[in-house]
Amino acid sequence: MTSNDSKLIMEPERLIDVGAVELCVQAFGSREDPAILLISGLASSMDYWDDDFCRQLAAGSRRVLRYDHRDTGRSTSCPAGRPDYTGRQLVEDVVGLLDALGIRTAHLVGVSAGGGVTQEAALTHPERVGSLTLIATSPAVATHRQLPASIEPVASYFADPPPEPDWADRAAVIDYLVDAQRTFIGAGFFDEAVERRLAARVVDRTRDIAAASGNHWLCEPGDQVRGSLTQIDRPTLVLHGDRDAFFPFGHAEALAAEIPGARLVPLQGMGHQSPPSQVWPIVVPEILRLTG
């Protein structure tokens, strides 16, 4: 095996004890390389970080890790409708996972609410964070800036949510997840076949898909993180689609304006989503440059 081949290794998933819960984690690349931890959004498992996206980052001499939040994928699950944790605990899970893996410092890459987790981790545990990459997200702490509200079709989705499917009906659940992705991604980079394969993978990997789809939205926020974006002193990259209807582009501009030294890179055609393959030629080099 060549040195470059070793960087492309996708290790098997494994369950790691993190306090009172088990989190499922998967790694790519060499243990000797700097660690990048990918953090998904609410109700989203590690599956939303594409295998090939992870391999491309690992090929740049990075140790890439992705994991299932509690209540998603193969990680510990609460009964549907009854989460027993707070949003703040999702932040502490990041630190607990790094501890369990023996990683002192990691570069954090968070999408949507995962970007909020990343910001809060940088404020509460700055010594554990090498850099921040914030994708399709919004300020996680108070800001004096006026942030634009969600626009159509996302605004209507939250105003009048679609009915839940029969969670025991695999085909109906896949349809439900695909329809949600269609709404959030928008017409720009939505690919029906890709989203159906992803939804099927999510359903088949998840302990309790009803809990995974709803519990994060129900949990209490927990202890408020103190501080402001101006106190984040780690290198920061803000990546944001110009068609994001959930967090319109003004959210990205606020992040870049308030975090000292942050670099804002617009992604043409991208909606509210993890980076699709069309923007990897921009996103991968930007992340590798930041974490080098």
* Catalytic residue from among 112, 131, 138, 213: 112
Judge whether 272 counts as a catalytic residue.
yes
Q: What's the rounded Cα separation, in Å, for the pair 106 and 104?
A: 7
SS3 186: coil
Give the residue from 53, 35, 39 showing the smallest Cα distance to 109.
39
Q: Is 244 a catalytic residue?
A: yes
Q: Using CA atoms, how far apart are residues 95 and 105, in angstroms rounded to an integer? A: 9
Mapping DSSP to helix (H, G, I), strand (E, B) and coil, where does residue 95 land? Answer: helix
Distance, in Å, from the CA atom of 151 to the CA atom of 155, rounded to the nearest integer, reads 5
Contacts with 247 (C-beta within 8 Å, 6 or more apart), sequence order: 112, 136, 137, 138, 150, 240, 272
Catalytic one of 69, 244, 251, 274: 244
CA distance 123 to 59: 30
271: DSSP letter: -
Specify whether the CB–CB gap between 239 and 135 falls below 8 A.
yes
- Distance separating alpha carbons of residues 259 and 189, to the nearest angstrom: 29
The one-letter amino acid code at 109 reads V
Could you give the maximum distance between any two Cα atoms of the chain, in Å? Answer: 54
Let me know if 40 is a catalytic residue.
no
Is the CB of residue 92 less than 8 Å from the CB of residue 102? Answer: no
- Report, as residue numbers or ranges, the catalytic residues: 112, 244, 272
